[in-house]
Structures are given as structure tokens and as C-alpha cells.
Amino acid sequence: MIDMAIQTEKYASCVDASKRVRWDIDRDILRGRDFDMGHKLLPDSISGIQRFEFLDPHEARLLSQIQGRTYANMFGLVERFINCKVLELSQHHWTGDQVALEALVRFSDEELKHQALFRRIDEMIGETLPPGYRFDVDPDAVASVVLGKSTWAVLALTLDIELFSQLHYRQSIDPDDQLSELFKNVFLYHWKEESQHAILDELEWTRHDATVTASDRDKAVDEFIELVAAIDGILQAQAAADTRYFVANCGRAVDGAETLSVEANFLEAYRWQYIHSGARHPHFGKVLYSLISEDQGMRIQAALTTFQ
Ligand SMILES: [Fe+2]
Ligand SMILES: [Fe+2]
């Protein structure tokens, strides 16, 4: 009973915070502004710019803008399946803890708004950059693959994502004064609502974990690895697409060898952004390792080393 009361209090504090920080796309973020392509979008520490050699300032800015657009699109992509899972989990609170239900309903509402925000951002960046950018990943197709895995595995991936998104904002986007103000604002407001999501992911993951058998959990560990591998497949395709776009628009001839090196650097940056920064997040590790065995942890670590 005491445990239940503590849980309800955690859900309640998420509801309070969600009400306090609630924002509107046009009124609070966009405010009639457009992107100014004289500024970078994604910070150097996230875009891995130090790996790219021979970039002049124009090329460095273009690289940051391409990665920034892909960054917004990647969040729009993952938030589709995250929202589906949150709606599904809410059924466990339809009757019973109405505070927990409200927390998940708000979570879902926020992710729908975030997806709309990221679609707007993609469109607005598209109006200022040269044509030809591609992000050919269908959020519904990805959601159907992800949601085919167990809830345990999907919640592991979701907590991972929602923790790294906060880490990127706090450590890299917020302190960087070279970035577009509008882009910084997008991720400031996104971070404000994501902070509650990560708490709810953890509550739901541990609640769900208590209902699974040891063999279900063991299978779910493998499914989590399969999901990370699926993300890696998306990153490989996007690294290739973004390289083609960069080479076509950087304003000089890029030979085959340099193109290959640019693509390898894009992929390394994306793997850090969407796989390793989350997998190495201290709180993600703390929650994950409290749920799994040493052997399962080693399986995950071994799999992660293949995405280098
Ligand atoms: Fe979000
Ligand atoms: Fe979220």
C-alpha cells in the first residue's frame, strides 16, 4: 500500500509539472519566426563535426543544418511508436489510479503535439535549404515493427530515447551560443515536457517488469537488441541520404574517397546520437541493470559494440 501511494505521488508530480510547463507551438515556440540559415542548428558536440576534415565554415554550417533537420525528423519518427505504446499502457489505469491515467493521457497528448511540431520544423527548414533533402522513413511502418516486440523491450528503448534527448539539450544545445535561436527554443520547450516522460517511462517499465516471467524478460532483452539494430539500419540509410545531399549542395567537387569518409562520419555521429549517448546514460544504465542479470547485461554490451 505504501508503495502504491509513493507511485501515485510520482504520477501526480508528473501531472503537476506537465500542467505548469505546457506550451503551444505557435504562441510559445515559433512566434512568427523563421529559420535563419546563417546559423548552425545542431551543436558541434552532437554533430561530431571534429571528425569531418576539410570543412570550411559554410560547409560546417550546412552539415549542422542537415543533421539538425534529421534530428527533428528522428524525434518525429520515434514519437509515433512511443505514443502508441503509451496509449496501450494507459489501459492498465483505465480503472483504478486516475492520476496515473491522467499522467499518461497528457504524455500522449504531448507526443502528438511534438510530432506536429517536428513536421512543421522539417517543412520550415525545407523552405530555407536547397531542395533534394530526403527522409524516407515511414513512422507508421517503423511503429508496426517496433510494436511487434514485447512491451518490456519497447519501454527499454523509450526510456533510452527520452533520457538522451534531455542529455543532448542540457549538455550541448542549451549552452551553445552559435545556434539558431529558434532551433534552441524548439528543443528547450521539447525538453520541458520530455522531463516528465522519462519519469513515466521508468514507472511504467518497472511496473510492467514486475508482471513478466524470467523467460519473458530474457526474450525481451534480445528484442531490445533487435530494436537497436533496427534503429541502426535507419541510421545507415539516413547517413547515406544526408551524405548525398551534403555532397550535392556543399558548393565544390567531392571525390569518391572523401564521400565515403563523409558518410562514415555521418553514421558515426548518428550512432552516437541515437544509440550510444542513450545506452551510456547513467540513469538508463541504473534502471536497466536493476532489472536484468549480469549475463543479459553482457549480451546487450556485446551487441552495442557491433554498432561502432
Ligand atoms: Fe517528445
Ligand atoms: Fe517524450
Burial group, residue 156, by CB count within 10 angstroms (0-12, 13-18, 19+): buried
CA of 158 to the centre of ligand 2 (A): 8
Say if CB 49 and CB 63 are below 8 A apart: yes
**pLDDT per residue of the chain (308 residues) written in tens, 0 to 9:** 567 888 899 999 999 999 999 999 999 999 999 998 899 999 999 999 888 877 899 999 999 999 999 999 999 999 999 999 999 999 999 999 999 999 999 999 999 999 999 999 999 999 999 999 999 999 999 999 999 999 999 999 999 999 999 999 999 999 999 999 999 999 999 999 999 999 999 999 999 999 999 999 999 999 999 999 999 999 999 999 999 999 999 999 999 999 999 999 999 999 999 999 999 999 999 999 999 999 999 999 999 999 98
How many CB atoms are located within 10 Å of the residue 198 CB? 23
CA of 82 to the centre of ligand 2 (A): 7
Say what the pLDDT of residue 210 is.
Answer: 97
CA of 252 to the centre of ligand 2 (A): 39
CA of 77 to the centre of ligand 2 (A): 12
**Cα torsion through 80, 82, 88, 94, rounded to 10:** -110
CA of 21 to the centre of ligand 1 (A): 13
Say what the pLDDT of residue 44 is.
Answer: 94
Q: What's the pLDDT tens digit per position in 72-86?
A: 999 999 999 999 999
CA of 113 to the centre of ligand 1 (A): 8
212: which 3 cell numbers? 513478466
CA of 189 to the centre of ligand 1 (A): 10
Say what the pLDDT of residue 2 is.
Answer: 64
Say what the pLDDT of residue 1 is.
Answer: 58
Nearest bound ligand to CA 104? 2
CA of 237 to the centre of ligand 2 (A): 24
Say what the pLDDT of residue 165 is.
Answer: 96
CA of 26 to the centre of ligand 1 (A): 16
Query: Ligand 1 is a single-atom ion; what residues have CB below 5 A from it?
Result: 114
Q: What's the pLDDT tens digit per position in 229-249?
A: 999 999 999 999 999 999 999
Query: What is the pTM (predicted TM-score) of this model?
Result: 0.97
Q: DSSP string spanning 21-71?
A: H---IIIIIITT----TTSBSS-HHHHTGGGS-S--HHHHHHHHHHHHHHH
